[in-house]
Every structure is written in structure tokens, then in C-alpha cells.
Structure 1
Amino acid sequence: MKKKILIIVAILLVLGIGLFFYLRGSENGQKFKTAPVTRGNLRATVTATGTLNAVTTVLVGTQVSGTVKQIYADFNSSVKKGVLIAEIDPATFQAQVEQQRANLMASKANVAKAKTALADAERTMQRNKELFAKNFIARSDLDTAETNYESSKAQVNVNEAQVAQTEAALKTAEINLHYTKIVSPVDGIVVSRNVDVGQTVAASFQTPTLFTIAQDLTKMQVDTSVDEADIGKVALGQDVEFSVDAYADKTFKGTVSQVRIAPITVQNVVTYDVVVKVDNDELKLKPGMTANVSIIVASKSGVLKIPNAALRFRPSDKDLGKSGTDQVAKEGGKPGSAPAKEGSKPEGAPGKGAGRPGGAPQVEGGRPGGQPDGRPAGQRSYAVWIPEDGKPKRVSVTTGITDGAFTEVTSGDLREGQEVIVESTSGAKKNNTTPQQQAPRFIR
């Protein structure tokens, strides 16, 4: 029994010693997660959100007050220009027209009466002139006759002016009667109706809106707001892709048609309106939908590219070894001078943009690097690391555009198919990097 116990203890001791040396060897071993250098297409985009609207939207109101008698168009009705869509009770306005017609007749009668009085005054004046010449009447009688003539003549002018005034009033009444019939000013589709039969509408300085008509829903536009940091990359004619929640699995296409220069400031955030033209032949898109927009500001085909995680990798002194550390120091850098991981703020560099999706890599020397969210990184130099004899080897590269997940390599000692280090899997607890720096966050 005692012998069996000794054998078991010996076996456990051997296993324990073996496990100890195995774990120690694994801890000291240099292991890295790598990704291949590939060749493919890259697109740099500016992302934003916007709202779909009809290119031309007409607000139809009323120019007269009254009660809505009839409605001939409803939501989604297709209307033609000049077609009757609603009618206000015309009874009051018809009565006003008849009243003005009667006033016009009376004014014309007054003109005829005044002309008759003028003719009589003229005859009286001529007769008094003859009598005065024969000294049959006094001078005052002649003066009175002449005054009556001039007065009758002026009265004719007054009555004729009243006729013109009454004609204008009649025309106004007829126009108001015409306004009781509300017609569509354009060809389009009724997208909104804000009135019901029997409702009283009042015309004022702000005409009430009865209908909203979209002129042509086969041509629409996305009104989107682009951040001031990105607006310099947006230009007329750029291709746009966007999606809406109603059709999450479908991508719609458009073109930038307008970049408005007027700034919009909300809570100290400055944005600019960008208008995107969209074809809507299938009429799937509807006014008011929210669009998630990606403006393609740069595109390249068949370029050499590496994952952004490779630009953010930072080896520790232990990973490099003494010779590697001396080599980095000789080149004027340090192990931590490689691009910073997402969310970390490089020493001596501003914190703007840190932690954004896509990661804003840091250029060599601690300066901020390429822009996140698909913005072009420009021609900048970075350090990436490749595995060589179990240790990371530093390689300087120059980058181009980025799509947030991969970055173009324009120059450097890298070739297609070569592996670059994206993460260290050894010595996690002894690494001199922070947890956020040690585990790069991959961009989807």
C-alpha cells in the first residue's frame, strides 16, 4: 500500500514539474496573431444621415375664407395641373358678384343721367347767352347757367369714374368666386391633406395649407448634413450609396448634386447640407424616410492593402528583445511609436478623433495619422511589424486611402501574401501596453 502511494506521488511530481516547465516555456514563447497583405479594391467614404424628400413639393392653400364644400383629392391621389381638388362654398361669393353687377348697372345709369343733365345745362347756357346779348337777362343769370354747365360736366366725369370703380369691384368679386375652386398647380401626387368637408378655412397673411403635392416622386433627393471635418472631401458628381430602414437589405444609389455653403450650427457643431439626387422609378422610396448615406470620396482598384489593426500594433520590449530595441532606438523611434490603438491618445498628439470607429492610426513620431470613418489618410509614413525568427521586425510603409478596416500601402518593403502582425498573444500580463492598446478592436 505504501509502495503504491509513493508511486502515485512520484507520478504527480513528474507531471507537475513537466506542466511547470511547459507553462513557463509557453509564457516565454513569442507568439503573434498575423494577417496577410492582400491586393484588392478600396473605397474611402464619408458617412452621414439624411432625409428623403421630393425634389419639388408644392403647398396648396386658399386665397379666400369660407367653408369647404367638397374635396376631390385624397392622400396618394395622382393629380394633373389645373384639375379641381377642392371647393369652398361659393354662395357668399356668388352673391357678391351679383351685387357688384347691380352696382355697375346703377353706375352706368348715373352716367346716362349725368349726361342728360349736362345736355340740358348746355342748352340753358346757350339760350342765356342769346338773351344776354339782347339785354333781356342780367349778367348773373348767364353766370349761373355757365356754372351749372361746368358742374354737370364734372358730374359726368365722376359718374364715369364710379363705373370704372364698380367694374374693378365686380372683377375682384369674380376672382374671389373663382378662388373658391381650388385646383392643382402642378402634376404630381398628393402626399398630405389637411382639410375635411365642412371645415372652415380662413385666408390671412399666412395662407393655410390644404394639400401638399409632390411634383414627381420618380425623382427624389436626400438632404443630408455632413460634418465640417468631412465637407472638404465632398464634391459635385460623387457617387453615393445609402440604405433605408424599410429596405435594410437593399442599397440605393445616387449622385451629389449640391453642396451648400451656408453653415448649420447646432450646439456648437457645424454641419453643411449636401443634396443627393436619387432615381426612384420603382417608387419604393417615400418622402420623410431616414437614409444612412455613404459618399464615395475616393476609390482605387487592385491596390496593396493591410488591416488597420497592423497599423495599431505596438510590440513590447520583451517581444522585440535587446537587439530589436536597439534597432528601433537607432531609427529614432521606440516600441510604442507605432500607430496607436483605437481609443488611446498618443503622447504629444491631440485627442480629437481618438476612439472613433475605424481607429485613427498614429504616424511615426506621435503625430495624428489618417482619418477614421473612411476618410482618406493621405500619404503618411507608418511602422508595421512582420514576424521574423519568432520576433517582430519593423517595416516602414507609406499609406494611402482607408475604408476604416483596411489601408492602402503605396510604398514599403511589403509584398502580397506576406504576413503582418496585428496582435501579440504572449506575455499579456507583462506587456507594457494598456489593455485597450494590447487588444485591437477589429472594424466590421
Structure 2
Amino acid sequence: MSQPRRPAPRPRPLLPRIALGTLGLVLIAGGIWYFTQRGERDSEGAYRTAQVERGDIRVAISSTGTLSATSTVVVGSQISGQVTDVLVDFNSRVKKGDVLARIDPSTYEAQIAQGNAQIASAQASLRQAQATLANAEADYRRKADLGGQRLVAQSDVDLARAALDQARAQVNSAQAQIRQQTAATQTTRVNLDRTVIRSPVDGVVLTRTIEPGQTVAASLQAPELFKLAEDLAKMKIELAVDEADIGQVEVGQNVTFTVDAFPDRQFRGKVEQVRLAATTTSNVVTYPVVVSVDNSDQTLLPGLTVNAEIEVSRRDGVLKVGNAALRYKPTGADASAPAAAAAAPGQGPQRAGGGIGNDLAEAAAGLELTDAQQAAFDAALNAMRERQAARMAQAQQQAGGMFGGGPGGGPRVVVAGAGDGNMQGQMRQRMIERMQQDFAAFRATLDERQATRWDSALKALIGARRAPIYKLVDGKPQAVQVRIGASDGSSTEVSGDIKEGDVVVIGERARQ
């Protein structure tokens, strides 16, 4: 009996198999990418880094102040009276000698008329006294002749002489009275001239405090009638600079500032004067700094508040690093590596060869030395490096003994005290003296100009601030001592055993 045929199996669809294969390939590729990226992150290390760059650093001090005219003249009145005319207004441009206002002259005109009458009266008295004098002189001559002939008594001659002297005195008195009245009248004429208020300078009227009909009283002090700005093409700013920053401000430094009236425009000026008149407000000491400003286009107005920046230092084309590199300090195992490297005996000569030795070489390179001078410098520098290496080796031996367990056990602890500042000053002084001794033979070969520049560079190098930064070498931070220069708040100038393009550590990545 024949068995029934089974139906042939239907072929499975290809789409699920393709999807599974594709998914597998994606998972494999994702795994490869993940482990590749992880390996790259591991190769980068656990540090955030930045490169040493070459660029410009601008150091500025911020301050606020007020714009004013370079020369402001207050016009007042020396006499009292009623104002009859005011011929100028705010913003009026005036020339020297122009009439600004007039005061009622009636009082002074009347006083002049009275004075002229008194002078005329005094002149009449003088003529009368002169006539009396002439009569007295004739009478005295007659009686003197008769007295010589014994025809009149001597007492009559004496009386005639007395009358003559009295007549002369009356003439002198009348003349003095005329001069007195003339002087009084001249004073009144001067006051009459002062009833006309004139401009003492060429300028612009800033303020006017009088109106026609107003009475001016000048009994105690001259009242202020007008205020004139002599020249608004040149203005000044009075900045209030904090005592912590005033030591960096010098005459001639560039100043940039803005005003709220023109927020999209930046103006420039120069420091003209650093005044010694300190002002204390709420225990804050400030010094006034005067800045001269060119206002040829008459854009700036007196009284505007300015926000200024005084450029106290500018360094172009210097090596600089971000301030984060100076703040970074390694932790844990990372901190021990640089210390151990610095303490290794073989690092002594290398350390002595860098640092201040390189700085001295750079300073000498700018002196344009002759071959003989360069040879003397090289000899002094090599001798200094050898002495530094010997001192460093000795210091490392002493440091090993300190941690080797003394009689009391454990390391020696040095506590910083209040005298550290004086100690650092003494150390700098000793370093300067030692450097001067080390390079005495080299300095003797320099001329006066070169010697002055060398002494200045030597003091600057010794007195410069230094700080450690950490270069990334073979994935590990390595401490390098650098000299710190100008800083603009985000970047700082550095020099020493470091060059453009070096990678420095600025932080650590979070451990994952």
C-alpha cells in the first residue's frame, strides 16, 4: 500500500538572516570602535593639557573718572549792583574781551562826578594857598631887608618867616588833597569799568547763574556768574586709582576708555600726572590720576563718566601659558614622580644648566658681545653651573640624611614664620652678591652701556617671581621651574626651561 507524499519544505525567507547578519556586524563594529576610542583616551592620559604659546600680553588697570575741560575759568563780579544785561547763554562761544554781562553803573558814575567836584574844590584851595604864599614871601623879603637896617624889630621878621612857612604848608596840603581826590576818583573809575563783565579767555560758556534784573552782592567774596571752558578740543579725565595699583601707573602710559553716551566707540588718552593728594573714602585709599584726551572732533562732553583702562605693561611676542597651568598641583602618585625626579642625583647638572643659567645666557645675548667678551661669559657661566651642581648634590645627600631617621625618629619639620619675607629678601641679596662675584671677570670686559644693562638684567632675574609648572613628558607630569612675568588675568608670561609648543598640564580628568 503506497504512503502519501509529504509536501516539499518551503524555503526560508532571506530577509531575517540578512538582518541578523547586519546586526552582528554592527555590534562587532561598535565594539571595535569602543575599544579603539577607549585606547585613544587611555593613550591621552588622565590629564587636561594646553600648549605653551607665543603671543602678546597686555596688563591694564581699570578705573572710573569724569571728563572735564583742561582749563575751566570761573567768571565773577568784584562789585555789587543790579544786572542790567546778560549777553551770552549756555554753550555760547566767546573771545577774550567779549562782554558777557553789564551791571548798573549809575552809582559809580555819580561817585565819579562827586570826585571831580572835590578835585575842582581842592584845586581852588590850592590856588588860594599859592596866592597867600606869594604875599607871605613878599612880606618876609621886605621885613628881612628892614631888619637888616635895624628899622624894624627882629620879632616882626620872625613873624613874617612863620607866616611864610605856614603859607607853604597850606600849598602842600592843597596839593595832597588834590592827589587824594584824584586817587579816589580813579578807584571809582576802575569800579565803573568792572560793571562790564568781560571774558578773560577764549572758550565756551558752560554755566550761567545770573539773569537780567538780579542783584549781585560782592561784599564778602566774588559771586560766580559764569563758568567758561577754555578749550574743549583738549580735555582731561581725573581717575581714582586704588592704592594697590598706583605703584604701576607712570606718566606717558596709554589709556583707553569708553563713555555711556557712545557705547560702541573707544577713546584714547595718555597719563599726564599722578597726583600725591590721596583721598580716603570708607577706608579705601585712592590717588587721582590725570589723563589728557584729544577731543578735536568735539565728541566728548564735560561731565561724562568714563570707564578707563590704564595700560601699565605690554609684552609682545613672549611665551605664555594659561593661568590654570600655574595653579595645577599633582595629587597622589602623580605628585611623587616630579619630586623623585628632582631628587635624583643625575638631575643636578641638568637642573643647574637650565633655569637662571639660560636666563643669563639670554640676557648676555642682547649685549652684542665681542668674541673675547663671549668667551669670558661662557667661562663664568660654566663655572657657575659646576658650583650649582656640586651644591645640589650636597643638598640631596643632606635631604636623604634628614629622612633616614635621626635620634628623634621621623623627618625634620620646618615651620614657616612671619620672618619669611625678610629671609627671602636676604636670600635675594646674597644671590645678587654671589652672581656679581661669579661674573666679576666678565663684567670687567664690558663697556659702560653694556655694564649698566647687565646689572639691570641681573637684578631683574634675581628679583623675578618663580613658580613650578608641569610639562607632560611620556604621559607623566614633570615639574619645571619657570620665571613669571606679566599677566593679563587669563595668561601669564613665562620663561626658563620651556619652549613654544611644550604641553603643560592644567588639570586632571575625572577617573572612570
Q: Give CA-to-partner distance per residue, 1:63-106, whole Å, 9 cap, x none.
A: 11111111112211111011111111111111111111111111
C-alpha displacement of 1:408 = 1.5
> 1:241/1:348 Cα in 2 relative to 1: closer, same or farther (>3 Å)?
farther
CA distance in 2, matches of 1:101, 1:291: 59
Who is 2:262 aligned against?
247
- Alignment-derived partner of residue 368 in structure 1: none
Partner of residue 248, structure 2: 233
Residues 327 and 128 (structure 1), Cα distance of their counterparts in 2 relative to 1, 3 Å cut = same
- Aligned equivalent of 1:326: 336
AA aligned opposite 1:191: L
For the Cα contact (< 8 Å) 1:398–1:412, is it kept in 2? no
Confirm whether residue 201 of structure 1 aligns to residue 285 of structure 2: no
2:338–2:478 CA contact under 8 A, matched in 1? no
Q: Distance in 2 between matches of 1:39 and 1:130?
A: 116
Cα drift, residue 291 of structure 1? 2.2
**Deviations, residues 342-387 of structure 1 (Å, cap 9, x unaligned):** xxxxx9799xxxxxxxxxxxxxxxxxxxxxxxxxxx8433233456
Larger proportion of helix: 2
Structure 1 residues 394 and 135: CA distance shift in structure 2, 3 A: closer
User: What residue number does 1:40 align with?
Assistant: 55
After TM superposition, list the pairs within 5 Å mapping 1:245-394 onto structure 2: 245-317=260-332, 322=333, 324-330=334-340, 379-385=464-470, 394=479
Give 1:33 shift. 4.6
Q: Residue type of the partner of 1:202?
A: A
**Matches of 1:45 and 1:292, distance apart in 2:** 12
Q: Distance in 2 between matches of 1:172 and 1:203?
A: 16
Question: Kindly tell me: are residues 208 and 398 of structure 1, through their superposed partners in 2, closer, same or farther at Cα, counting changes over 3 Å?
Answer: same
* 1:278-302: CA deviation from partner (whole Å, max 9, x where unpaired): 1011112222222222222221222
Question: Where does the alignment leave 5 or more consecutive residues of structure 1 unmatched?
Answer: 1-24, 334-346, 351-377, 429-444
Moved more, 66-75 or 117-126: 117-126
Instruction: Output the CA distance in 1 between the equivalents of 2:47 and 2:417.
Output: 28
Once structures 1 and 2 are overlaid, which stretch shifts more, 72-81 or 132-141?
A: 132-141
- Give the conservation status (yes or no) of the 8 Å contact 2:147–2:153: yes
Q: Is the 8 A contact 2:82 2:213 kept in 1?
A: yes
Identical counterparts, % of pairs: 43
User: C-alpha displacement at 1:251, in angstroms?
Assistant: 1.5
Aligned with 2:275: secondary structure?
A: strand
**Contact kept in structure 2, 1:264 and 1:272, CA below 8 Å:** yes
Q: In the TM superposition, what is the alpha-carbon distance from 1:165 to its structure 2 partner?
A: 0.6
Q: Deviations over 1:33-72 (max 9, x none)?
A: 5444333211122232222222211111111111111111
Structure 2 residue 207 is matched with structure 1 residue 192: yes
Compared CA separation, residues 35 and 129, structure 1 to 2 (3 A): same
Task: Indicate yes or no: 2:483 matched with 1:401.
Answer: no
Report the Cα distance in structure 1 between the residues aligned to 2:340 and 2:473, rounded to whole angstroms. 19
The residue identity in structure 2 corresponding to 1:45 is A
Letter in structure 1 aligned against 2:336: D
What TM-score results when the alignment is normalised by the length of structure 2?
Answer: 0.62
Q: Which moved more, 1:148-157 or 1:404-413?
A: 404-413
Aligned-partner Cα distance in 1 for 2:208–2:505: 62
Which amino acid letter does the alignment assign opposite residue 296 of structure 1? E
**Quick one: distance in 1 between partners of 2:342 and 2:279?**
45
CA deviation after TM superposition for structure 1 residue 130, in Å: 5.8
**Structure with the higher strand share, 1 or 2:** 1
Residues 72 and 85 in structure 1, CA contact (< 8 A), matched pair in contact too: yes
Q: Aligned equivalents of 1:258 and 1:193: distance in 2? A: 30
Q: Is the 8 A contact 2:258 2:266 kept in 1?
A: yes
Q: Is the Cα contact below 8 Å between 2:338 and 2:477 reproduced in 1?
A: no
State the distance in 2 between where 1:349 and 1:171 align: 79
- Residues 138-147 or 81-90, more deviating: 138-147
Q: Would you say the 8 A contact 1:399–1:411 is kept in 2?
A: no
Amino acid at match of 1:326: S
* 1:66-85 matches, cutoff 5 A: 66-85=81-100
TM, length-normalised to structure 1: 0.71
Consecutive unaligned residues in structure 2, runs of 5 or more = 1-37, 344-414, 419-462
1:102 matched residue in structure 2? 117
Q: Work out the number of aligned pairs and report it.
A: 357
Q: Distance in 1 between matches of 2:477 and 2:217?
A: 80
Partner of 2:176: 161
Q: Which amino acid aligns with 1:168?
A: A
For 1:79-228, list aligned pairs within 5 A. 79-129=94-144, 139-228=154-243
**1:216-244 alpha-carbon deviations (Å, 9 max, x no partner):** 11111222233333233222222221222
CA contact (8 A) 1:396 1:413 kept: no
| Equivalence for 1:61 | 76
SS at match of 2:210: coil
SS in 1 for 2:60: strand
Aligned to 1:216, the other structure's residue is in SS state coil
2:484 maps to amino acid: T
Q: What is the letter of the counterpart of residue 315 of structure 2? A: K
Does 1:426 pair with 2:510? yes
1:124 is displaced (CA, Å) by 3.5
Deviations 1:311-332 (A, max 9, x none): 2234442xxxx2x232244368
Give the secondary structure class of the aligned counterpart of 1:161: helix
CA gap of 1:157–1:244, structure 2 versus 1, over 3 A, is: same
Displacement of 1:187: 0.7
Query: Does 383-392 or 406-415 show the bigger shift?
Result: 383-392
Q: Distance in 1 between matches of 2:488 and 2:96?
A: 48
Partner-residue secondary structure (3-state), 1:186: coil
